[in-house]
Amino acid sequence: MIQMDPIFIIGAPRSGTTVLHRALCAHPQVSWLSGLAVRYPARPGLNRRLMQALDLPLVGRWASRRFRPWEGYDFWEYHCRGFRRPYRDLLAQDASARTQRYLPPVFRQLASPRRPQLLIKITGWPRIGFLRQVFPQARFVHIIRDGRAVANSLIKTDFWQGWGGPDHWRWGPLTEAQAARWAQTGQAFIALAGLQWEILLQAAAQASAGLDAATYLEVRYEALCADPAGVIQQIATFCGLPWQASFAAQVAARPWHNRNDKWQQDLTPAQQAALQAILHDSLGRYGYESA
């Protein structure tokens, strides 16, 4: 039976969501969004057929090489306008009655009977309130990474919108306090990228407040890299997925590299100081020591 209690991997961009998501998608009981769902959003059954093909000899090996798990924002946007790029977090109040009726049957078509657990990755705004309103039994795995590493990685991507300033990005206006802190750094762009990490973690903390341990799990990127088998097994237990020898072997075979030190190599001393100054309190709140 296809379950309608999807698992959502959430986190700030460049926090390790992709490596965690793809590792979990290798589990034989997990279904995921593919490029077929993105290219043909009106035909979610094609995604289910791909999930079925993954379990066939020979064809499964070809399909696993040809298709990879996606975030699938075009699929989301087709079925739920505004989901992809809201300027603030999506809350329970944003889920219309139509969305609550319409989305679960659509998502039920994505998974196969042998892969009943649907696993979906979403970065940026956590959207926990909205998703819980649509999928009341949904569970969330939130991966957190050192904000300095996240900021350093963000400014090197082609999708970071901070170069136009906070009036032209997707994360809402800065508060007076945030604007003042940013001004103290000389409006350094690396500091603004750090603020994005802080804003998204604050949104996740607010959205997850009150959720119990059966619904919401936080893991650290650093712990995942240090002990991938232990952390993945913890997440598998949270998701209700059996720890199978074949899956454990795939986890062990993946490359796990902690690249948190790159911000110290890539940034000038002045940039490092600006980043650490603006994130001082948030780093301490999440247990990251200043360099």
pLDDT given for residue 136 in this prediction? 96
Please, which pLDDT band fits residue 243 given cuts at 50, 70 and 90?
Answer: very high
- Is residue 158's pLDDT more than 70? yes
Inside any domain, residue 116: yes
Mean pLDDT of 47-71: 92
What is the extent of the structural domain holding 246?
A: 7-158+212-259
* pLDDT score of 4: 61
pLDDT value at residue 6 = 96
Task: Assess contact for 63 and 73: CB atoms under 8 A.
Answer: no
Closest by Cα among 202, 189, 188, 181 to 88: 202
pTM over 0.85: yes
Average pLDDT over residues 130-138: 97
Is a pLDDT exceeding 60 seen at residue 40?
A: yes
**Three-class secondary structure assignment of 14-52:** CCCHHHHHHHHHCCCCEEECCHHHHHCCCCCHHHHHHHH
Instruction: Give residue 1's pLDDT.
Output: 45
Would you state the pLDDT for residue 83?
97
Secondary structure class of 62 (helix, strand, coil): helix
Q: For residue 61, what pLDDT is reported?
A: 86
Q: Domain for residue 76, yes or no?
A: yes
- pLDDT surpassing 60 at residue 2: no
Total of domains in the chain? 1
Please give the average per-residue pLDDT across 267-275, as a whole number: 97
Residue 146 lies in a domain: yes
Residue 114 lies in a domain: yes
CATH code: domain of residue 34? 3.40.50.300
